Amino acid sequence: MRKMDTVFIGLMLFSMFFGAGNLIFPPFLGAEAGSSYWLAMAGFILTGVGLPFAVLFAVSLVKGGVQTIGNRVHPVFSTVFMVVIYLSIGPFLAIPRNANVAYEMGLKPFVGSDSNAALILLLFTVTFFALVYAVSLNPSKMEKYMGRWITPILLLSMVLLCTVGFFKLDAPLQSPSANYQSGAFSTGFIEGYNTMDALAALAFGIVILTAIGQRGIQDRKQLTNFTLKAGLIAGTLLTLVYVSLGLIGGKMAATGSFENGTDILAEASTLLLGKSGTALLSFIFTLACFTTVVGLTTACGQYFSKLMPSVSYKKVVLLVTLVSFTLSNLGLNQILKVSVPFLVTAYPLTIVLVILTFFNRFFKNSKKVYGSAVLFTGVFALMDGLAAFGVDLGPVQVVKDFLPLSSMGLQWILPAIVGTAVGMVLSSFSNEHSPVNELEVKAS
């Protein structure tokens, strides 16, 4: 495979990752973290860039990808977990969120708020999803559309906005808000969940491996090698964008208070470039959200068409598009209500599965290790999710709060370690081993 093919696939991967959350959360983190910015951003990058990269790496290591990793717990768990992930990063959460943000930032500033808002949103989403459907129908050309054309335009637009911001915004970073006065790194770490990129990486892995495979690369080591290179390109670009947007948010904090990252970027673009800045920001948001939605739609189409061979890829893409279109018209606030509870439940499980994949050789694919680690982690991750939904945990909350790192939202770490240790002990007593597992370990 040519070097430029790797570059274009890396650019395509960046464009798929870079959506609504990637634009919104870094500037708000910068404004809130203030003088603790670099520590908070380090935590954000760890989960917003490092974790998705690790997920891609893990998926590329194992023949069969995410489904095989999940099978190490149990085939039923694997299917249920992946279906929930794909539905959440697809039509039930991430796709409608991106479509709504594209409307809120791409078109709404020019039409204002009036009685026809619902109709305008309807017309926007009809156009938006018609284009998404058209591009998603041919995944083999995604690298051409997104890697060679759309992403360079998106990056040039981001460079223009950030460069002007660096030259014109010279206010010092303010004092950190209450959330960042202590534990800035861990707060940034949790904020990185909101990008949903680690979960998206579970889905995008199949898209990237397919794109590489279409260039004649079938050897597992070569697939992993090219996936790592593409991931490094995407990860480097994401890091540069996050740091730049975060600094703009940090410097904008001196001009007033803001409710979210969209307010910061809207105010900054107008301050820096006037009406042209508003148009530029609208273009950036629309393009970023569009590429992410195309990537997620394609990933859902490829996964569900393989899970259900009787349903063609085109039919899945059509269904995902129609469901996403319908939910997008519910409005952004309704969609965001379920995002945080889901993320704080799903992320710990994803992190544990990825870490176990890297250390798989030490316990030879033992289902007891995987099952025990996921069970212990899942119980406490679910507690966090229920609490985020507003459920009163009663006495259970006391147990949760007693655990180390609970104040940082990382109370699941100790149970994950304990669960892994328990699984290893059980595995050693049962002498769990199988020829199939041994072959898989060698392949990975």
Token representation of residue 165 = 């911001």
Residue range 56-65, pLDDT digits in tens: 888 888 877 7
| CATH class in words for 3-333 | mainly alpha
Whose tokens are 């996936």? That residue is 227
Cβ neighbourhood burial of 354 (10 Å; 0-12, 13-18, 19+): buried
- Domain ranges in the chain? 3-333, 359-444
pLDDT confidence of residue 437: 44
pTM for the whole thing? Answer: 0.78
**SS3 of the chain:** CCHHHHHHHHHHHHHHHCCHHHHHHHHHHHHHHHHHHHHHHHHHHHHHHHHHHHHHHHHHHCCCHHHHHHHCCCHHHHHHHHHHHHHHHCCCCHHHHHHHHHHHHHCHHHHCCCCCHHHHHHHHHHHHHHHHHHHHCCHHHHHHHHHHHHHHHHHHHHHHHHHHHHHHCCCCCCCCCHHHCCCHHHHHHHHHHHHCHHHHHHHHHHHHHHHHHCCCCCCHHHHHHHHHHHHHHHHHHHHHHHHHHHHHHHHHHHHCCCCCHHHHHHHHHHHHHCHHHHHHHHHHHHHHHHHHHHHHHHHHHHHHHHHCCCCCHHHHHHHHHHHHHHHHCCCHHHHHCCHHHHHHHHHHHHHHHHHHHHCHHHCCCCHHHHHHHHHHHHHHHHHHHHHHCCCCCCHHHHHHHHCCCHHHCCCCHHHHHHHHHHHHHHHHHHCCCCHHHHHHHHHC
The pLDDT tens digits along the chain (444 residues) read 677 778 888 888 888 888 877 888 999 999 999 999 999 999 999 999 998 998 888 888 887 777 788 888 888 998 988 888 888 888 888 898 889 888 888 888 887 666 677 888 899 999 999 999 998 988 777 666 676 777 888 888 888 888 888 888 888 889 999 889 888 998 999 888 878 788 888 877 777 877 787 777 777 788 888 888 988 999 999 999 999 999 999 999 988 888 888 889 888 888 888 888 888 988 888 888 898 899 889 889 988 998 899 999 999 999 999 999 988 887 656 666 666 677 778 888 888 998 898 888 888 778 899 999 999 998 888 888 887 777 777 777 777 778 887 777 778 889 999 999 999 998 887 765 544 443 344 444
State which amino acid sits at residue 276: S
The DSSP letter of residue 311 is S
Q: Are 346 and 193 in contact (CB under 8 A)?
A: no
Pairwise CA distance, residues 94 & 85, whole Å: 10
pLDDT confidence of residue 435: 43
Q: From the CB of residue 243, how many other CB atoms can be counted at a distance below 10 Å?
A: 18
pLDDT confidence of residue 1: 64
E strand or H helix that includes residue 215: none
pLDDT confidence of residue 131: 93
Residue range 156-203, pLDDT digits in tens: 888 888 888 888 888 888 999 988 988 899 899 988 887 878 888 887
